[in-house]
Structure 1
Amino acid sequence: MLKSYLKKKLLYFFLVPVGFGKSLFVSTLEEIAKGNKELFQDSYIYNSGYDWKKYPVIRVDFGGKGNITPDNLLLYLEDKLKDVASDYKLTVTGDTFQSRLENLVKNMTDLNDYANKIVVLIDEYDAPFINQLDPVIKESNRLIVRDFLTEIKSLTANNFIKLEFVTGVSSYCFRDTYSGPNNLNDITLSPDYTTVAGYKEEDLLNKDSVYYKRINQLAEKRNISRDILVGEMRSMYNGYKFHPEDDTIAVYNPLSTLMFLQSGELNNYWINTGTPTFLVKKVSKSNVKDFSKPISVTKYELIEPDEDSLTVDGAMFQGGYLTIDKYENSLDDGKLRQMDDPILLKFPNGEVEKSFYNLLFKKFEKDLESEGEYQEDDVIKALSDVDIDGFISILASSFASIPYNAYYQQQNRNEAFYHAVLHAFLRGARMHPESEKCSNLGRIDIVINSIPNLTYIFELKHGKNADTALEQAQNAKYIQQYIRQNKDIVIIGINFGSDYRNLDDYEYKLYDSGGNEIVDRDAFLDHITKRKKVRYRSSRKHE
């Protein structure tokens, strides 16, 4: 397939998620274009009959330019022209960037010992604007890249270019279809290129491959069969499909697969490559769907070039969080597929599904902080008045706002999950919660010391009951470190249930500052009132 890129004049745009080896693929094309045959001795292309002509190459890598300013982006492109010219012992001439680029390309086509056309490789073209937070800088950078690609287009029309290959994770530059770089053939969803990015399982299990040998080593080390290990690897890292036809081969995420084969641990490696800002913004501004079931979209939604029109589904596909499953409807005999035939999307594998729920948790963690901030006055009043019923009512209402699909992940149905979201809510309400507060007999789930004259201790459970939570707090003597601090103490035990995805039981106990239980709430409030009067008289004496 690689050699076909250079058989005739070809102009490609390839959109693929991060971690899929775009840069490595571009580097491979570069070495082939330069005629470096000996690098490929063990590859198919070496003895394929490819003629190994040497082509001058212009490679522009925009990776790592995510925070660049427009002025520096222009300088980078100018410097890149100078670097390329230096590589071929040429000089850059011309009064404008466009003229300097055109003159350089023309001179490169006249080089001795090279073919009379050049190869242009542009990697991560959207990096200067895809994650840019400043809208003015973002649009300025997008226009600079678009104009650069448009100038390449004009040189292609003049027959100077043999191959142009552009990679990215979005289609933003191509929304100006009448004036911009509209000459590129988008192969993202082409059935001919579905396995360009990623590993096929048959390649990983080729008995002559280093992958196969490593898989056997890991299986032996873990004392399990090769089939079991491959099944675990498949479930975690395989599943990406780039076309909806039934015979499309699913591929593995190459980065995660290599990391797994190296470490032997089924970790989430992909999330560390970063989530595109455009996807985070889309998710944070939308009502999150139930992605546990296939999502129906049209093909155009997946490659929508306008960020404002890009749906959450399209953004998740471009960001690598969703992949193609299949066509939603079977094809009638004698019919051809249409552009608007619905396509089903799904999570490709376990790694990505976990990554998505981590992203989703960050979204509703911020939402709960905002909800806590909105409810701050009510929370302060309820806790100051020891109105536990009112406080629990506020919590239950706020927890009801958590997207229901956040509970599909098993790890999001446990005590730690509810602990985290409760902490986020209290933090938003400016209660300054302390989590996992150590005592000599254990860790207190959450402590609030920001209410005047009162200390609140929370013990949380999931799938049990509030009495169990209180019993643990009492047995571990959590109040001991707060006795004699001149503050009365309230212990609240809360149980969260999966059925209603909310708190379903709570109990509380009240103690004076000496650790003596006060059973009746009214008596406790009278006690607090008397203490306030004593403090007031004491302060008056010292004035």
Structure 2
Amino acid sequence: MKPLEPRKYPVGIQVFSMIRNENYLYVDKTEYVYRMTHANSKYMFLSRPRRFGKSLLTDTLQCYFEGRKELFEGLAIEKLETEWTEYPVLHFDMSMGKHLDEKALIRYLQSILQDNEIRQGTQARETEDVNVRLKDLIMDTYAKYNKEVVVLIDEYDAPLLDVMHEEEELPKLRNVMRNFYSPLKACGKYLRYVFLTGITKFSQLSIFSELNNIQNISMLPEYAAVCGITEEEMRTQMNIDMELLADKLGTGKEEAMERLKENYDGYHFAWPSPDIYNPYSLLGALNEGRLASYWFGSGTPTYLIEMLNKYQIIPQAIGGRQCEASDFDAPTERMTDITPLLYQSGYLTIKDYSPFSELYLLDIPNKEVRIGLMKSLLANYVKRPAELRTLVGQMAERIHFDDMDGALRLMQTVLSTVPYCENTRYEGHYQQMLYLIFTLLGNFSDVEVRTPTGRVDVVMRTHSTLYIIELKLDKSAAEALRQIDLKQYPERFALCGLPIVKVGINFDTERHTLESWEIRTGQG
């Protein structure tokens, strides 16, 4: 059998022409491009988390409007588009406008206006007013080409995200951006299409307060898969890639896809929606031939952790949120609850929807995000979180070989020596820390599993055993076991096909470690 040829994956590449000309993998989204550009609204907004393909989609739109038909050969749009009319395109990438004060932001806007003037060959207007300069650029471009102008604004909200909750700086920068965007309405008759991407909707920007005809496609089912990669796309357009990955992992193709699904799948930005895989992580795994934390590891969520602490959100309460769309598809600039930030940043996603109650269920999308979040939260509980991460790895090895007693002895030793943070005087601190540790045993465990009679603290599955674990504080391991029996938890898992082992654990809050545990097999 002839070995498969290596493939090129566009990790971090957001330039459509480069991907097409240099034979990188491209998952065909051009049917959406045609649908977007032939809709009734010529103003559109799309919200997606970072590194989800917004910039590549924007660049694809630019190539389409510039009539670069040769780049689209063999793609879905080739059968849909018959005219390929060329339009002048103004493209503004706001991603470099972060961490700037008011004066620096104005200089940045002047710079990207100048870039577009040079590209269009129009006269540079010497003015300090960025809105006047944008208006002149639109009208000069229209006059030069006698064609309506396309305006693409990628990451329109980037200059504001880092100061979202700074009462002094946010109004200043928001005024600058409101001023800059104001011509988009005034110049409407000169515009063919306006597309903006971002993470959140800033309600007090002129875009959303004045452009009352802007269509927000972020939660429309027909655009659910416009960014990200679906399993159908993987099985049809990426079949060779799945075989290549399976070969590198030393597994069959279906097992490789199951591991990808567990780690990177699970996003829904509308309902109904196909399962969406995180494209950055998926391409990273294909490129390197291994599963790792690509998306979560690409940006340290310092601000997110600060907000979780500010709103006093315990680890167990991050997911499993029922709410209306207005509770999470909402501007985050004045949020009183962390839900919009968690959703729009990609740490929560839609998992279900009830037409009767009109409530959405939001939860953590997949293993990569869950493990990444929990690792980041460890620093809230111990002064040297690396010790707990090492503990988790050592426990996982023992549990894999069915040495639960050895794993708990190891936990007892480490927790008795690790220095804790200052806020340890309340009972919940230790419950939350144990929750984090067992959650990080992510290959095996589910935490707070619902049964008809209550919630099991931890259910852990290995290749040969199903563990039902109950945790107590300052009580006894025997009492923990009695709860398992009284609540008849084993009956909930009777059909799993594995021997069931019950584990009762008691934590001593004075000694800051496990006081005792009991392990019981079978029904005894």
**Matching residue within 2, 19, 22 for 2:51:** 19
The answer to whether the aligner puts 1:343 opposite 2:329 as a matched pair is: no
The whole-number CA distance in structure 2 between the counterparts of 1:500 and 1:139 is: 49
Q: Any residues of structure 2 matched to 1:130-141 within 5 Å, and which? A: 130-132=161-163, 135-141=167-173
Is the radius of gyration larger for structure 1 or structure 2? 1
Q: Deviations over 1:428-465 (max 9, x none)?
A: xxxxxxxxxxxxxxxxxxxxxxxxxxxxxxxxxx99xx
Identity value in percent = 25
Alignment of 1:244-259 (within 5 A): 244-245=271-272, 248-259=273-284
CA distance in 2: counterparts of 1:501 and 1:33, whole angstroms: 66
Is the 2:114–2:124 contact (alpha carbons within 8 Å) kept by the matching residues of 1? yes
CA distance in 2, matches of 1:177, 1:107: 22
Matched, 1:188 2:218: yes
Contact 1:6 / 1:162 at 8 angstroms: preserved in 2?
Answer: no
Matches within 5 A, 1:82-101: 82-93=114-125, 95=127, 96-101=129-134
Please state whether the residue corresponding to 1:344 is helix, strand or coil.
Answer: strand
SS of the equivalent of 1:14 reads strand
Deviation digits for residues 286-334 of structure 1 (CA, Å, limit 9, x no counterpart) = 221524762111101112214232521221001100000111x353xxx
**Among 108, 124, 132, the residue aligned to 2:141:** 108
Letter of the 2:330 counterpart: E
Picking from 72, 91, 98, the partner of 2:104 is 72
Instruction: Select 1:325's aligned residue among 336, 345, 351.
Output: 351
Counterpart contact for 1:34–1:54, Cα < 8 Å = yes
The 1:272/1:505 distance shift into structure 2, 3 A limit, reads closer
User: 2:131 touches 2:179 (CA, 8 Å); kept in 1?
Assistant: no
Given that 2:248 and 2:290 are in contact with CA atoms closer than 8 Å, whether structure 1 keeps it comes out as: no
3-state DSSP of counterpart to 1:324: strand
Aligned to 1:124: 155
Code of the aligned partner of 2:371: K
Q: Any idea what SS the aligned residue of 2:352 has?
A: strand
SS in 1 for 2:256: helix
Question: 1:61 and 2:93 equivalent?
Answer: yes
Superposed, 1:119-198 pairs within 5 Å as 119-132=150-163, 135-156=167-188, 159-174=189-204, 179-198=209-228
Aligned residues: 388
Greater CA deviation, 58-67 or 354-363?
Answer: 354-363
Q: Which amino acid aligns with 1:311?
A: D
Using the TM superposition, give the Cα deviation of residue 9 of structure 1 relative to its aligned residue in structure 2, in angstroms.
4.8
Q: CA deviation at 1:179?
A: 4.6
Partner SS for 1:172: coil
Q: Deviation at 1:83?
A: 1.7
Deviation at 1:228, TM superposition (A): 0.8
Residue by residue, what CA displacement relative to the aligned partner does 1:138-184 show, whole Å, maximum 9, x if unpaired?
Answer: 3322221222222222222xx11111111111222546788555542
Judge conservation of contact 1:33–1:53 (CA < 8 Å) in 2: yes
User: What one-letter code is carried by the residue in structure 2 that aligns with 1:167?
Assistant: T
Determine which of 279, 286, 296 is the counterpart of 1:261.
286
Cα separation, partners in 2 of 1:222 and 1:366, compared to 1, 3 Å:
closer
Alignment of 1:502-513 (within 5 A): 502=509, 503-504=512-513
Q: Secondary structure at the match of 2:362?
A: strand
Cα distance in 1 between the residues matched to 2:333 and 2:302: 11
**Mean alpha-carbon deviation: is it higher for 268-277 or for 219-228?**
268-277
Cα deviation, 1:384-434, whole Å, max 9, x if unaligned, reads xxxxx9xx99989547352745544455678xxxxxxxxxxxxxxxxxxxx
Q: CA deviation at 1:198?
A: 0.3
C-alpha separation in 1, matches of 2:276 and 2:241: 19
**Relative to structure 1, is the Cα distance of residues 268 and 357 closer, same or farther in structure 2, using a 3 angstrom cutoff?**
same
Q: 1:234 aligns with which of 261, 276, 301?
A: 261
Task: Report the Cα offset of residue 42 of structure 1.
Answer: 2.6
Q: Determine if contact 1:55/1:116 at 8 Å carries over to the other structure.
A: yes
Instruction: State the distance in 2 between where 1:178 and 1:30 align.
Output: 23
Q: Quick one: structure 1 residues 93 and 408, their matched pair in 2 at CA, closer, same or farther if it must change by over 3 Å?
A: same
Contact 1:94 1:103 in 2 (8 A): no
Equivalent in the alignment of 2:326: 300
TM-score norm. by structure 2 comes to: 0.67
Q: Kindly tell me: are residues 367 and 162 of structure 1, through their superposed partners in 2, closer, same or farther at Cα, counting changes over 3 Å? A: farther
Counterpart CA distance in 2 for 1:396 and 1:280 is 16
Q: Distance in 1 between matches of 2:117 and 2:160?
A: 27
Partner amino acid, structure 1, of 2:262: S
TM-score, normalised by the number of residues in structure 1:
0.64
Task: Measure, in 2, the Cα distance between the counterparts of 1:202 and 1:145.
Answer: 40
- Residues in 1 aligned to 2:116 and 2:82: alpha-carbon distance in whole angstroms: 26
Say yes or no: does 1:215 pair with 2:242: yes
2:375 paired residue number: 358
Q: Is the 8 A contact 1:146 1:180 kept in 2?
A: no
The residue correspondences of 1:415-454 to structure 2 (distance < 5 A) are: none
Aligned-residue Cα RMSD (Å) equals: 3.4
- The 3 A distance-change label for structure 1 pair 403 and 9 is farther
Given that residues 189 and 243 in structure 1 are in contact (C-alpha distance below 8 angstroms), is that contact kept between their aligned partners in structure 2? yes
Counterpart residue identity of residue 163, structure 1? Y
Distance (whole Å) between structure 2 residues aligned to residue 325 and residue 394 of structure 1: 34
1:4, distance to aligned residue in structure 2 (A): 2.5
User: Could you list the runs of 5+ residues in structure 2 that have no partner in the other structure?
Assistant: 1-31, 386-415, 442-470, 473-503, 516-524
Please give the secondary structure, in 1, of the residue aligned with 2:194. strand
Classify the secondary structure of the residue corresponding to 1:66: coil
Counterparts of 2:350 and 2:431 in 1: how far apart (Å)?
24
Please, which runs of 5 or more residues in structure 1 have no aligned partner?
Answer: 332-339, 369-388, 415-461, 464-496, 507-543
2:176 and 2:302 map into 1 onto residues whose CA distance is: 20
Match of 2:342 in 1: 316
Task: Identify if the C-alpha distance between structure 1 residues 313 and 291 changes in structure 2 by more than 3 Å, giving closer, same or farther.
Answer: same
Q: Residue in 1 aligned with 2:23?
A: none
Q: Is the 8 A contact 1:60 1:122 kept in 2?
A: yes
User: What is aligned with 1:454?
Assistant: none
What secondary structure does 1:121 align onto?
A: strand
Are the structure 2 counterparts of residues 185 and 505 from structure 1 closer, same or farther at C-alpha, using a change threshold of 3 Å?
A: closer
Equivalent pair of 2:507/2:514 in contact (CA under 8 Å): no
| Pair 302,411 (structure 1): closer, same or farther in 2 beyond 3 Å | same
Q: Using the alignment, how far apart are the partners of 1:360 and 1:23 within structure 2?
A: 30
Separation in structure 2 between the aligned mates of residue 82 and residue 396 of structure 1, nearest angstrom: 53
